[in-house]
Structure 1
Amino acid sequence: MARKWSAGSAQRRVMGAVLLATVATGPIMVAATVPALAQSEAGRTFTIPAQPLADALVLFGAQSGYQVTVDGATIRGVRTSGVSGTLSPAQALSQLLTGTGFTSRITGNVVTIVPAPQSVDGAILTGPLRVEETIPTMPAQVEIGNLSPAYAGGQVARGGKVGLLGSRDNLDTPFNVTQYTSQFIEDQQAQNLGDVLSSDPSIRNTYSRGSGRDEFNVRGFTLFNYDVSFNGLYGLSPRNSSAMIGVERVEVLRGPNALLNGMAPSGSIGGAINLVPKRAEAEPINRLTASYVSDSQFGLHADVGRRFGEAQQVGVRLNALYRDGDTAPKNSREDLKATALGLDYQGERFRLEADANYQYRDTNARSGLLFPPGAGTAIPRAPDTNGNFFPDWTYWQTDELSGMVRGEFDFSPNWTGFAAVGARSYDFESVQTSWLMIDGAGTIGAIPARLNEYMDSLTAEAGIRGQFATGMLFHRPVLSTSVLDQDSGQMRVRGSTIFSNLYKPVRIAQPSLVAITHIPKVGTTDISSIALADTIATANDEVQLTIGLRHQKVETATFDGVSGARTAHYDKSATTPSVALTVRPMEYLAVYGNYIEGLSQGPTAPSTATNAGQVFAPFTTKQYEIGAKIDLDGFGATLALFQIDRPSSFVDPSTLIFDVDGNQRNRGIELSVHGEVTEGVRLLGGIALTNGELTETAGGTNDGNTAPAVPKRQFNLTGEWDTPFIPGLTLNSSLIHTSSQFVDVGNTQKIGNWTRWDLGVRYAFLAGDHPLTLRGTVENVLNKDYWLSAAREGLTVGAPRTVLVSITADF
C-alpha cells in the first residue's frame, strides 16, 4: 500500500539523503531536508555571511569542529545565503546548504558534501519532507509549500506556478517565464511591483518609481496592475500598486494565457504576473530593515517568521511596513502602511494556507497621464524630471483589505483536489488632473476632478489534478473551475479648466470641489470559467505535449448613478483552446512551441454607429511561439520568437457601421539570461526586439503603420560582482534602454529613445552575532530627462536621479 509520512515522522526514520524503494506502481523517492547529523547535538554560535559555498564551508568547519570534505570542482561558482545564530551543527549546515543543490553525509566527525538527489521525475521537492508514491516521470501533485529553488546568486528561481498546469520546472514549461525571488526584491530595494519588473527586458513600466500606481507593457500590450493575480487568484492584489513586503516570488509569464489563468478582469493579454506570498521557513526569522529614499522618505519594515508543532507543520509569517516622506520630484510625497500575514499547515494528506493583507497608500502630486496634442503636432522634449507639473494638492489615496484561503487534499497518491477562496475591499479617493498638451511649446490644460470609488471582489477556484499511465505514455490531467464577482461604485465631481506649462509650471490654487459623501453603485462584473488540460509525456519527460481548453463566460452590467436603473448589459461566452509541445533532447536543453489565446471583453457599438448598442463577443487574441531554453546548473537562458494578433474595432467612415475588424500584429524575438557566469559574477537581463504593425484598419488608412507604444528595441542588463578583496562586498550596475515609440496610430507623433544607468553596492557583514546587510543604489545616475512611455495614448515622465539606502539586520 502506498504511504505518505509527515516531515517529522519521516525525518526520524530517514537520516540519509536518498531512499529508493520499489512498489507495484513505481518507485518511491525520499529527499531528506536535513543532513545526517544528530539533531539533538548542542547548539553552537555560527556567523557565516553570504559568500561562495567553498569559503562558507571552511568557516563552518572551524566553528563546528567537524572536518568537511568536498570536491572543489563540483561547488565552483556555487553560493550560499549564509547562516547565523545559536544552532546545532545539523541545523546550521542544513541552512547553509539550502538552495545550493548540495546535501551532506557524516561518518564520525567527518562531513562529506555531495550533490543533492535529483528531482522526483522532474518535480523539485522542497519544504517539509513528504514520501509520495508516483508513476515514473510524474511530478508530485503538491502545490502548497512546493517552492522551486533559485539559480546561483538567488535572483531568479528554476521554476514556478504556471496557472492551471501547476508548478513546473522552467525547462518543462512550454512558455517564456521568469520567477523573481524575494532576495532579488530586497537587493533591488524594490518598493513596488514596477521596481521589480524594471529589470525585465520584455516589460516596460508605464509609470515611474513613486507614482502611486503600476502598469506594464508586455510584448507591446498593456497589462494593468489590477490584472495581477495573488497566489493564483485574480481580484486580490492591490488595485493600483503592490507593495513587496509580503511577496516571496514575482512570477512572470509572457504572452496571452487564457487557458492557464482565465480571462483577466480588465482584459490584459500581453502576459500574466502572479505574486507568491511569503511563508515561514524552517529556521526562525527576525528581520528588520530601515530604508531611505531621496529626497526625505524613511521607512521601517519588520519580517518575522516561525514554525510550530512536533514536525513544524504550522507556519506563521508576518510582515509590516511604514514608509513616509518626500520623494525625488518637487512637491511629491507618499505615505504607505502595509501588513501581510501568511499562515500555512503542512499535514500528511491535507495542506492549507491563508493570507491577510492590508495596504494604505497616499501619493501626492505624482499620478496621472499627460495626453498628447492633436495629430501632426510634434511631441516636444521631456520636462525636467526633478520638477513637477502636477499641482501639490493633487493626490491618490487607497485603502485595501484582502484575504484568501487555499487548501489541498490528497485523495490518493496520484490524485489531489484543490480549492481556494478570497475577497478584497478597495476604497479610493483622489483629486487629480489629467493634463492635455495643447501645443508644442509646453502649454497644458486640465479639468481638475474629485473621484471617489469602491470595488468589492469575491473570487474562488476548485479542481482536481492527477496522474496516470496508458501504456508507455504518462498523463497529468487537471480540471478546474473559477469565478470572480466584482461590484463597483463611483462618483466624480469636476471643476473648472486650469492651464499651466510643462517647463514652467504655474502655481495653481486648489479648486473648491464638493466633498463626496455617497458613492452609488455603477457596475457589476461576473466572470466564470471551466478548464480542462492534459500533459502527455514519454518516459523521462523527453517529449511533453499539453492540450487544453477553457470555456469562459463574462457578464457585466452598468447602472445609472442617480436612479440606480440598469443602463447596459453584457452577457457573452467564448471557448479558447491551447496546445504546447516541449522536447528535451538533452538534460540541460528544452525546445518548445505553443499556440495559445487571450481573451478580453468584447465592445459595444457606440451611439454614433448605425448599429448602436450591438454587443460583440469577447476578443480572442492569438499567439504562436517557438523557443529554446538552456540550464547550465548555475546559469540559464531563454530564446523565444512569437507572433501575437489582437483584434481591434472601429466605426467604418463610409457605412458608419461599428465592427470588430482591425488588427494589431506584434512579432518579436526575446533573449533573456540569468545566473552566475563565473564565480562571483552574475548577469540578469536580455534583449527584446518587437515589430508592432497595424493591419485591417478603418478604410486601410493606417495599414502598415507601427502600433503606438511598441518600442522596436528593449535592452536590460544587470551585473553583480562579489569583490575578492573585501568579503561580503558586492558591486552592481544596471543599464536599461528603450527605443523610440510612436504615440498615435497615424505615426505622426513620436517620443525619443531613452537609456537609464543605475549603480549600486551591497555589503554583508557581522555585528557581533547579528548578520547585517547595507544596500545603496543610485537610479538614473546621469539625471536624464526623458519620456518614459506612450502607453494608452498618454505620456509619462521618467523619474529623476534617485538615491536609495537601506540596512537589514537579522536577530
Structure 2
Amino acid sequence: MYQDGRARGAAHKSARARGGKFNLNVAMLLGGAAIAGSGHAQAEEATPGTDWQKRLSEISSGDALRMDTFVTQVAQSGGVVEFNIPAQPLGQALIAFSEATGIAVIADAALIADLNSAPLSGALAPDQALAALLAGTGLAYRQTADNTVTLERSTAANGELAPLSVEDSAEAAPPLSEGYQPLRIGSNKYTQPLLDTPQTIVVVPQKVLKDRGQSSLRDAIKNVPGVTVASGEGGTRGNTFRIRGFEANRSDNSVDGLRDNTSSSFRDVYNIEQIEVTKGPSSVTAGRGSISGGINQVTKTPGLESFYAGSAQVGTDDTRRVTIDVNQVAPEEYAEGMAFRVNGVWHHNEVAERDVTESNRWGFAPSLAIGLGTPLEVTLGYEHFEASSVPDYGIPTKASNNIDNDFDRNNFYHIADVATEDTNSDIITARAKWEADDWLTFNNILRVQWDDFYGIAGHVRTDSSGVTFPTVNVNHGLRTYDNFTINNQTTATAEFTTTEYIDHALVLGIDYSLEQRDTKTYSSVASNTDFFDPDPDRDLADASAPASQIGYQGDTVAVYGFETMNLLDTVELSGGVRYEMFDASQTTHTVSTGATTHFEQSDNMLSWKAGINYKPVPYGSIYAAYGTSFTPLAADVAITSDGAGADPEESVSYEIGTKWNLFEERLMLSAALFRTDRDGVRQNRGTAAEPDYVLLGKQRVEGVELGVAGNITDEWAVFAGYTYMQDKILEEGPTAATDGATFRNVPKHSMSFWTTYALPWDVDLGAGVTYMSSRRYRFGNQSESKIDDYILVDAMATYHLTENIDIQVNVNNIFNEFYIEQVGGGFQTPGPGRTALLTTSFQF
C-alpha cells in the first residue's frame, strides 16, 4: 500500500520531493487532446502510426519515487534533458517530449492534427526542445501552470518563447469526487478513501446537485434514501431530518466537520462542494448526538486552477436564480500558491401547488488561500447569508383519521401578511495545514459564527383547542434568537510503518466549541379558519406580547484518536475513541410571573468505534463495524426544566457491508446490513416519586442499504440508492399501548434513482425516480395514522452550446404527484407540484 516509511499513502498521494511536490501525471482535455508526461528519463521513439491519440492511453503513470529522482536530476543538471525524437506527426512527438520532461502539453486536436515535427536529438533545455519541435508549425506555447503548457497559434504578442523550466510544482489537493463517484470524505478524521471506510457514508457530489437542479440542502437530501424530513413544529429549529429512523438533532448538522446550529431549512448549496450523510452512530467523529448519523456540508475553497463560472435560472412559480463561482490564481511574484475564490447566489421561488409560500435568499462567500501546494497552506474565508421566507406549515391532520383528500392542495392556513421566517448569518473561517514531514501533517480549522432568527408561525391543528372539524386552529407565535458560536478543531495525522508488513494511519485531535444563544418567545395568538376554504387574509390580534427570555451557553472540550492499520494490503483494522466534556447552563425569565429559573447540566461521555476491512482485491472491500453514540439532554441548544439532571441517551450500531469500485474503478457499488439500538430513551413519567424524565425506553431500527454511484461507461452515469428499514419500540414507549409498535416518519422502503447519458450531439439526457413507502405520523400501529406512499419522476436535458456554455432544462415531479414531504405532529407539509427550470451556465 505504501512506498516506504516516509512516503505514506502512495495509492492516494502523488510523489513528494524534498521542499515541494511534483504533479506526476497532469491529464487535461482541451478540444480533444492532452499529452501528459509519464516520467521516463529519456525520450524513446513514439509508437508508429497515425493514431497518436491512442498512445495517450498507453502512457504509464510511472513510478513515483523514480519521478522524484528524475526531477531532481534535471534540476541539478541545469534543466538539460537528453532527447532522441525522430521526425513524425507532431502529436507523437509531443508525447515523446512529455515522457522525457514530465511536462504536460495541452493542445486542441484540430490544431495539431495535420502537422509534423522536425527530428530532435541531443542535450537540450525543455524550452529549447519544445521550440524546435514547434518550428515551422505556426504554433507557440504558453506556460499555464508549473510543468504545464498550452499550445496556440503564434502571434506577435507571444512569438518570443519564455524559458520553460522543470521544477517541483504546486500539487492540488486530491478531488473529493469525480463526476458522480465520491472518492473521499472532507474531514481530516477520515484517513482512508471512501472504498476503505468501514461505514455507510452517502456522498452527494456537486455534479449530482447541478444535474438535478437542486439548490437547497432539503432538496439535496432527496438523493439519500433512508433520510426523511420532519417539520420544525413552529419553533426556531426549522426542518429536521430522520436518519435511519432516528431524529437527528440540529447539532447533528455540520459544515466542514464543525457543528452548525442554524436551521437546515435555510441552507443553500451555492457554496457547497459536496454533502456527506453518515449512517450509524457517529459521536466518535462528530461529537454528542448523532444517534444514527449526521449531515456534513463541505464548502468550496480556492484551488490552483483559474476559472470563471456562473449560472442564470428561470422557472415556473416565479423561480429566479443567479450564481457566480470565480477562482483566480495570483502570479507567483505576489505569493506562492495564492488563489482567491468568491461564490455568490441570489434566489427567489414560490412553490408549485401551494398558495402564498415562497423563499428568498442571497449570499456571498469570498475566500483567500496562500501557500497552496506548499508544506504550509493558509485559507481565510467569510460568508454572509440571508434568507427570508413565507413558511409552509402544511395541512392539519385529524386525530381520528388520515388526511381528508377532498380539499384543494393549494390551501394555505396561516395569515399571508404575518407568517415569516427570516435568518441572517455571518461566518468567518480560518484554516491552516502544515506538512511537517512526508509522514506528519497538522490541520486546524477555526470558525466564528453569528446567526439571528425572526419568525412568526406555528401549529396548524384541528380537533384541538376547543374547535371541531372542519374548523382549523392556527397558533401564531413570534420567536427570535441571536446565536454566537466558536468552533475550533485541531488534528495531527501521522502515517508510518512499524514492520515491513504493517502500515499505520493515526489521527489525534482536540475539539473546542462555545455556543451562546439568547431566545425570546412571545405569547401565541390563535386564529381559526375553515379546513376546506381557509382565509389567508384574515385579521390577527397583536402577537408581540413578550412571554419569556432564555439565555443558553454550552461549552465542549473533546479529545480523540483514530487508527487504521494496514496488514499486507489485505486487512485493515480501524478504531477510534472520543472523550467529550460538555457543560451547559440556561437561565429562563418568565415575563408573566417575573420568575427566573437557572439550570445546569454537565456530562462526560466516552464513545468509540471499531471496524475490520478485508480487501480481496484492491478495488473491493468487505467490512464489519461497531459504534456508539451519546446524546445529552442539552444536545440541541436547550435544557428542559423537567429534564435537568437526566443522563445521556446511548445508542449502538452494528453494520456489515461491502464496497466495490468497478468499470475501471469509476463506479462504486455498496451494500450493508445494519442494526441501531437506542437504549435509555428519555421518557416523561411526571410523578412525585421519580424525576419527570427517566431513561427507560428502548428502540431499534434494522435494515439494508444499497448504493451505486459513478460511471458505467464514459457516457452513462448513475447515482442511486435503496434503503429498507424495520423499526420497533422494544419497551417503555410513550404509552404502554405503543410497546412493540413502530415510530413515526419511518418508511419501510425508500429509493432514489438518477441517471444521465451523453448523446453524440452535444446533448445529455437524465431521468430519475424517487419512491417512499407509507409512513405513520404518530407513534403506534393505528392504521388511520398513515401517510400514503408516493413515486416522483424527474427529467433533465442539457445542450452543450459551446465548450463553455450549457443550456439545461429540468422538469421535476413530471406527473404532478400530490405527496407529503414533511411530517409533523398534527400537520403534514406537501411537497412541490410539477416544476420546470431553465438554466444557462458557463465556465471559462
- Normalising by the smaller structure, the TM-score range is 0.7 to 0.9
2:384 paired with 1:358: yes
Matched residues, number: 704
Deviation, 1:169, is 1.2
Deviation at 1:361, TM superposition (A): 0.5
Distance 1:579 1:792, change over 3 A: farther
Match of 1:476 among 479, 488, 505: 505
C-alpha deviation, 1:164, in angstroms:
2.1
The one of the two structures with greater contact order (alpha-carbon pairs below 8 A, sep at least 6) is: 1
1:644–1:666 contact (8 Å) kept in structure 2? yes
1:799 aligned residue:
832
Residue pair 1:452, 1:516 contacting (<8 A) in 2 also: no
1:172 aligns with 2:187: no
**Contact in 2 for aligned 1:356/1:402 (Cα 8 Å):** yes
Measured against aligned partners, the alpha-carbon deviations of 1:558-579 in whole angstroms (never above 9, x if no partner) come to: 1123679552111111111211
Contact 2:521 2:548 in 1 (8 A): no
Distance 1:147 1:577, change over 3 A: same
Instruction: Give deviations 1:723-771, integer Å, cap 9, x for gaps.
Output: 23xx2211111111111111222222111111111122111121xxx62
How has the CA–CA distance of structure 1 residues 162 and 460 changed in structure 2, closer, same or farther, with 3 Å as cutoff? closer
Of 277, 295, 301 in structure 2, the residue corresponding to residue 252 of structure 1 is 277
Q: Which moved more, 1:235-244 or 1:393-402?
A: 235-244
Following superposition, the deviation at residue 584 of structure 1 comes to 0.5
Counterpart of 2:198, as a letter, is P
2:324 corresponds in structure 1 to: 302
User: Residue 362 of structure 1 aligns to which amino acid in structure 2?
Assistant: S
Superposed, which structure 2 residues align to 1:512-527 within 5 Å? Answer: 512-513=541-542, 520-527=549-556
Alignment of 1:268-283 (within 5 A): 268-283=290-305
**Using the alignment, how far apart are the partners of 1:544 and 1:27 within structure 2?**
31
Listed as ranges, the matches of 1:338-349 within 5 Å are 338-345=363-370, 346=372, 348-349=374-375
Task: Judge conservation of contact 2:609–2:628 (CA < 8 Å) in 1.
Answer: yes
Cα–Cα, structure 1 residues 227 and 808, in superposed 2: closer, same or farther, change >3 Å? same
Matched with 1:461 is 489
Matches within 5 A, 1:353-392: 353-364=379-390, 366-368=391-393, 372-374=397-399, 376-381=400-405, 384-392=408-416
Report the alpha carbon displacement of residue 517 of structure 1 after superposing the two structures with TM: 9.9
Residue aligning to 1:694: 729
Q: Which of 29, 49, 60 lines up with 2:108 in the alignment?
A: 60
TM-score (norm 1): 0.79
- Bigger Cα Rg: 2
Secondary structure of 1:694's match? strand
Find the counterpart in structure 2 of residue 646 from structure 1. 678
1:485 aligns with 2:514: yes
Question: 1:239 and 1:61 mapped to 2: Cα distance?
Answer: 47
Whether the 8 Å contact between 1:325 and 1:334 is mirrored in structure 2 is yes
Shift of 1:396: 0.4
Do residues 778 (structure 1) and 794 (structure 2) align?
no
Report the equivalent of 1:6: 20
Give distance in 2, aligned partners of 1:625 and 1:560: 42
Aligned partners of 1:759 and 1:777 also within 8 Å: yes
2-side partners of 1:745 and 1:517: how far apart?
34
Quote the Cα distance in structure 1 between the aligned partners of 2:22 and 2:106.
30
- Cα distance, 1:405 vs. partner? 0.9
- What residue is the counterpart of 1:48 in the other structure? none
Pair 255,483 (structure 1): closer, same or farther in 2 beyond 3 Å? same
Whole-Å Cα distance in 2 between the matches of residues 701 and 419 of structure 1? Answer: 50
**For 1:384 and 1:289, how far apart are their aligned partners in 2?**
35
Match of 1:317 in 2: 341
Cα distance in 2 for partners of 1:796, 1:28 equals 64
The match for 2:577 among 549, 558, 563 is 549
Shift of 1:788: 2.2
Contact 1:297 1:324 in 2 (8 A): yes
1:390-435 Cα offsets, whole Å, 9 max, x none, are 3312110001111111112223321222222111111111111321
Which residue number in structure 2 is paired with residue 187 of structure 1?
211
Higher mean C-alpha displacement, 614-623 vs 638-647: 614-623
Paired position in structure 2 for 1:597: 628
The Cα offsets for residues 527-568 of structure 1, whole Å up to 9 and x where unpaired, read as 22111221111132x211112211112211111236795521
Structure 2: which amino acid aligns with 1:742?
Answer: R
* Offset at residue 676 of structure 1 (A): 2.3
Which residue in 2 is equivalent to 1:732?
Answer: 766
Choose the corresponding residue for 2:651, options 607, 617, 621. Answer: 621
- Alignment-mate amino acid for residue 648 of structure 2: P
Alignment equivalent of 1:572, drawn from 603, 606, 620: 603
* Change beyond 3 A, Cα 1:158–1:732: same
**Residues in 1 aligned to 2:393 and 2:720: alpha-carbon distance in whole angstroms:** 29
- Structure 2's unaligned 5+ residue stretches are 1-5, 8-16, 27-35, 40-60, 73-80, 84-104, 117-138, 151-167
CA spacing shift, 1:320–1:95, aligned 2, 3 Å: farther
**Distance in structure 1 (CA, Å) of the matches to 2:262 and 2:381:** 11
Equivalent pair of 1:355/1:405 in contact (CA under 8 Å) = yes
Give yes or no for contact 1:212–1:367 (8 Å, CA) kept in 2.
no
CA contact (8 A) 1:454 1:490 kept: yes
Match of 2:775 among 735, 741, 747: 741
Residues 147, 160 of structure 1: 8 Å contact kept: no
Alpha carbons 2:379, 2:431 under 8 Å: kept = yes
> Using the alignment, how far apart are the partners of 1:589 and 1:475 within structure 2?
20
Contact 1:288 1:302 in 2 (8 A): yes
Q: What's the offset of the Cα at 1:508?
A: 4.1
Note if 1:230 corresponds to 2:258. Answer: no
CA contact (8 A) 1:723 1:731 kept: yes
Deviation per residue, 1:300-323 (Å, 9 max, x gap)? 212211112428601211011112
* 2:364–2:385 CA contact under 8 A, matched in 1: yes
Match of 1:560 among 562, 585, 588: 588
What is the CA-CA distance between 1:509 and the residue it aligns to? Answer: 2.5
Amino acid at match of 2:380: A
For 2:809 and 2:470, the matched residues in 1 are separated by: 36
Kept after mapping to 1: 8 A contact 2:182/2:709: no
* Residue of structure 2 in register with 1:668 after alignment: 703
Of residues 734, 748, 764, the one that matches 1:712 is 748
1:158 aligns with 2:183: yes
The corresponding residue for 1:123 is none
| Aligned with residue 65 of structure 2, among 21, 25, 40 | 21
Report the CA distance between 1:92 and its aligned residue. 11
CA contact (8 A) 2:548 2:588 kept: no
SS of corresponding position for 1:191: coil
Q: Any idea what SS the aligned residue of 1:721 has?
A: strand
Q: 1:545 to 1:659 in 2, by over 3 A?
A: same
Match for 2:790 among 754, 760, 763? 754
Which AA in structure 2 matches 1:252?
V
Aligned-pair identity in percent equals 18
Which shifted more, 380-389 or 170-179? Answer: 380-389
Give 3-state SS (helix, strand or coil) of 1:620's partner.
strand
Q: CA deviation at 1:236?
A: 7.1
- Picking from 308, 332, 338, the partner of 1:286 is 308
- Residue 700 of structure 1 and its aligned partner are, at CA, apart by 4.6
SS of corresponding position for 1:159: coil
What is the distance in 1 between the residues matched to 2:823 and 2:23?
58
Q: Report the residue type matching 1:695 in the other structure.
A: L
Give the drift of 1:630: 0.9
Contact 1:198–1:205 (Cα < 8 Å) also in 2: no
Distance 2:70 2:257 in 1: 29
Q: Take 1:29 and 1:792, find their aligned partners in 2: how far apart are those partners?
A: 66
> Distance between the aligned counterparts of 1:652 and 1:738, measured in 2?
35
